[in-house]
Structure 1
Amino acid sequence: MRTDMESADERALRRRGLTLGLLTLTYFFSYMDRQILAILMEPIRRDLDLTDLQLGLVAGFAFALFYATLGIPVARLADRGNRRNIVAVSLAVWSLFTALCGLAQNYAQLLAARIGVGIGEAGSSPPSHSMIADLYPPDRRAGAMAIYASGVVLGGGFGTILGGWLAHQYGWRTAIMAVGLPGLALAVIVRLLVVEPRRGLSEPARITSTTQPPLGEGFTTIWANPAARHLVMGVTLTSLVGYALTSFGLTYYIRSYNLDTATVGLVLGPLVAIVGTISGVGGGMIADRWARKAGQHVQSWLVAILKTAAMPFMALVYLAPSFPVAVAAQAVSVLLQSSYLGPSFALIQGLAPIRLRAMWAAITLLVINLIGLGLGPAVTGALSDLYRPYFGTESLRYALLTMAAITPWPIWHYWRAGQILKQIEAGADAAGRTGD
């Protein structure tokens, strides 16, 4: 006779595909609402008379400050409460504030609405990471995380297509409201259909206590783990470059090649969505396959290898003599470097204590977003303003090239994390043989 716990576990596992799909769709809306400004920056700048630095602060720091810092208390709640409900409420909040961005009449109002988006989105990823880690075992986790992370490229790509076309036809205000409001309906669907799994469901042998550890333990445990430190640094610096390039990348095409938002959206949106999804999901599956054969450490090395191969194409995007050459270079760059999120988050969740999984995800996102999203767009905007006396309308091109040049730094952290993980795996194997 089955117990209630057994039937609940079986139900969670039977519906984990649906749960993963809805969490991915939520992340899709999260990133679409977050990145819609990328295609709308130029019309917003003209309408509200803003500088590139102001645009960078709205797109990055104002959002990131609240998104990242509030992720910690939300994760604390998620590690002891119902994660599904947290995700649903958060989705409703940020969707509403995204729509309110379209009503802004000045810089202060736009800034306030973006802060509201950041507050809402703080409750999305930490509980989602924790739920996925509970539903999928380590040898399938990178693939599941990669599917979840595809929400980044799909949301960014679809937001670019829809936002660019709507802005060209009806103005930027209609565009931003059109991507925000549907999230309210999705919030209801998430609340009704997503299954809340038992903590540690995929690794029951690792559960040693049902008591939630103190808040400070989340920070001390992640800092005390050398592999986790390097992984967090690698994904943070990658995000610093990524947010810089995505926040202003579409504006670069509009300015440097004298294009409208509809043209850029229809060309770059499908490219990012299709190629990025192939890279993210395919890279996650390859990472799982390699890990089963050689150990988890090769997932970190895979990211380092692909990012190294992408570097020449990243530079060519901003040195290209024509729009077609730049687009072709970006396609190759996106294909090679968009697979880092799945393996990164999977490895971090695999290292995290089960009762601290949401907290470790929140700490990772805190660092990623304060440094990556908080500084990436703002520094790029400041560099563009600084370069303008020397390069004129091409200042943004060289600001983006400067940010792309940071890439070797995160590559080293991924390589070092792989070395440490390999040593840990070798020690575990030796201990297992001794025990036998």
Structure 2
Amino acid sequence: AIFPWQKIFFVIGVPGLLIAALMFTVREPARRGVPSGRDANAGQTQYPLREVFAYIRANKMTFLCHNLGFALFALHNYAANAWIPPFFTRTYGWEASKVGIVYGPIIVVFGTIGILLGGYLTDWLAKRGYADAKLRTGLIAALALMPTILLYPLMPNGEAALLALIPVNIFASFAFGAATAAIQEVTPNQMRAQISALYLFLINLIGLGFGPTAVALTTDFVFGDENAVRYSLIIVGAIALLLAALLFWLGLKPYRRSLANLQEQAAASR
């Protein structure tokens, strides 16, 4: 038998397949910024992995600070998304179905607003001469998110906690448009897919792999009380975001250097 909650996956998933099929109508654009000596449109000129990893090593601080910083940022997001429903049920006695009904729209509406505002801020910074605008947006998002995650777990009732989660969802999604664009900006054209894949691998390995588990372990082995999940959310989130902000800050100068070097190479290949 298929339970109602399982039917939701079909309802949501089938339209996604139809939308994905539209990609077959998208033409491959002409490649730009390809070093001299390589055919810009020839599929057989993809960089071998040894060259990809050589480029990563040459720009190790840029990719370390970017990838690990956003992975830690994602660790908070995955941890919160996994444990906010149990937080409401354990702390305020809400039914899980009620949490989904009232919290889901907050994620959709204010998460979307956060992505749009993050893109606007990135463009605003870039127009004012910040070459590191995309990574700087990550730093701003982490610093802005930190105080908001200290607030909602300590609210006296569920309604107040929901209101406090609005800025959390705005800033939690704030930087991930810029994060993806940053990878494209500092990576040679024909390495972008491979280096983007590595970035997404780390986001899922660290963020999804360790985020929810870290909250569970903190609740069980630090507090020994399942009702202390609110404090575990604060501790895990604060540590992850503090480390993410530090990495973003350390990565600003290397990011600018990597971008300048790539732009010089692109200019020389014209």
How do 1:284-363 residues align onto structure 2 when only pairs under 5 Å count?
A: 284-363=119-198
- Determine the C-alpha separation between the residues in 2 that align with 1:377 and 1:271: 20
Whether the 8 Å CA contact 1:278–1:335 is kept in 2: the answer is: yes
How do 1:9-24 residues align onto structure 2 when only pairs under 5 Å count?
A: none
- Residues 381, 217 of structure 1: alpha-carbon distance in 2 compared, 3 angstrom cutoff: farther
Q: Secondary structure at the match of 1:405?
A: helix
Q: Offset of 1:371 from its aligned partner? A: 1.4
Q: Offset of 1:404 from its aligned partner? A: 0.8
Q: Which residue of 1 aligns with 2:268?
A: none
- Determine the C-alpha separation between the residues in 2 that align with 1:257 and 1:277: 27
Q: Offset of 1:227 from its aligned partner? A: 1.7
Q: Which runs of 5+ in 2 are unaligned?
A: 40-44, 266-270
- Residues 213, 381 of structure 1: alpha-carbon distance in 2 compared, 3 angstrom cutoff: same
- Residues 354, 240 of structure 1: alpha-carbon distance in 2 compared, 3 angstrom cutoff: same
Letter of the structure 1 residue corresponding to residue 9 of structure 2: I
Q: Which one of the candidate residues 186, 195, 198 is aligned to 2:29?
A: 198
RMSD of equivalent CA atoms: 2.7
Letter of the structure 1 residue corresponding to residue 246 of structure 2: W
Whether the 8 Å CA contact 1:231–1:414 is kept in 2: the answer is: yes
Letter of the structure 2 residue corresponding to residue 386 of structure 1: F
How do 1:8-407 residues align onto structure 2 when only pairs under 5 Å count?
A: 171-191=4-24, 193=25, 195-200=26-31, 204-208=32-36, 209-210=38-39, 211-225=45-59, 226-386=61-221, 390-391=224-225, 393-406=226-239, 407=241
Q: Which runs of 5+ in 1 are unaligned?
A: 1-101, 104-169, 432-436
Q: Offset of 1:426 from its aligned partner? A: 7.3
Q: Secondary structure at the match of 1:198?
A: coil
Q: Offset of 1:429 from its aligned partner? A: 10
Q: Offset of 1:184 from its aligned partner? A: 3.5
Q: Offset of 1:430 from its aligned partner? A: 11
Letter of the structure 2 residue corresponding to residue 181 of structure 1: V
Whether the 8 Å CA contact 2:150–2:234 is kept in 1: the answer is: yes
- Determine the C-alpha separation between the residues in 1 that align with 2:19 and 2:56: 33
Q: Offset of 1:331 from its aligned partner? A: 0.8
Letter of the structure 1 residue corresponding to residue 217 of structure 2: A
- Determine the C-alpha separation between the residues in 2 that align with 1:252 and 1:238: 20
- Determine the C-alpha separation between the residues in 2 that align with 1:285 and 1:430: 27
In the alignment of these two chains, the number of paired residues is 257
TM-score relative to the length of structure 1: 0.54
- Determine the C-alpha separation between the residues in 1 that align with 2:21 and 2:134: 36
Whether the 8 Å CA contact 2:134–2:181 is kept in 1: the answer is: no
Whether the 8 Å CA contact 2:66–2:251 is kept in 1: the answer is: yes
- Greater CA drift, 292-301 or 175-184: 175-184
Whether the 8 Å CA contact 1:199–1:354 is kept in 2: the answer is: no
Deviation by residue 1:347-376 (Cα, 9 ceiling, x = unmatched): 111111111110010011111111111111
- Determine the C-alpha separation between the residues in 2 that align with 1:280 and 1:270: 15
- Determine the C-alpha separation between the residues in 2 that align with 1:333 and 1:412: 20
Whether the 8 Å CA contact 1:279–1:339 is kept in 2: the answer is: yes
Deviation by residue 1:187-213 (Cα, 9 ceiling, x = unmatched): 43443x3x132352xxx2444314111
Whether the 8 Å CA contact 1:247–1:377 is kept in 2: the answer is: yes
Q: Which residue of 2 aligns with 1:167?
A: none
Q: Which residue of 1 aligns with 2:42?
A: none
Whether the 8 Å CA contact 1:300–1:414 is kept in 2: the answer is: yes
Matched, 1:417 2:251: yes
- Determine the C-alpha separation between the residues in 1 that align with 2:173 and 2:29: 31
TM-score relative to the length of structure 2: 0.83
- Residues 379, 279 of structure 1: alpha-carbon distance in 2 compared, 3 angstrom cutoff: same
Letter of the structure 1 residue corresponding to residue 93 of structure 2: N
- Residues 300, 186 of structure 1: alpha-carbon distance in 2 compared, 3 angstrom cutoff: closer
Seq. identity, %: 28
- Greater CA drift, 174-183 or 322-331: 174-183
